[in-house]
Amino acid sequence: GEDVEQSLFLSVREGDSSVINCTYTDSSSTYLYWYKQEPGAGLQLLTYIFSNMDMKQDQRLTVLLNKKDKHLSLRIADTQTGDSAIYFCAETREGYQKVTFGIGTKLQVIP
């Protein structure tokens, strides 16, 4: 079945860039997502990318997709303490209701 893998933990200093990585196995994936979960809250969609794109930039966020290696990354520029959260990578296919989530990467930002 589909699988999405990501590391459990990342620690960065405030002002540095953070890069959170994710790999997936489903070659039919058409949508790839990054969700953010702040403490005590549900998940919130941060950004997404279609499988026919290589890169998407949205203010401090840059998503890179290497479809050949099935590798997705999220780069947060100028990381702030408010970026401390759990970041989930997720994927699905066109017309498919189910979304497969990774286990989440906990980002700790050190002041």
Partner 1 sequence: DVKVTQSSRYLVKRTGEKVFLECVQDMDHENMFWYRQDPGLGLRLIYFSYDVKMKEKGDIPEGYSVSREKKERFSLILESASTNQTSMYLCASCGAGNNEQFFGPGTRLTVL
Which residues of this protein are in contact with partner 1, per CB under 8 A? Answer: 8, 31, 33, 40-45, 48, 88, 92, 95-99, 101-104
48's tokens = 């997404």
Name which of 19 and 45 has its Cβ closer to partner 1: 45
Q: What is the largest CA-CA distance in the chain?
A: 43
Q: Give yes or no for a contact between 109 and 16, defined as CB atoms under 8 angstroms apart.
A: no
DSSP secondary structure code for residue 77 in this structure: S
Name which of 18 and 92 has its Cβ closer to partner 1: 92
Q: How far is the CB of 25 from partner 1 (least distance, A)?
A: 15
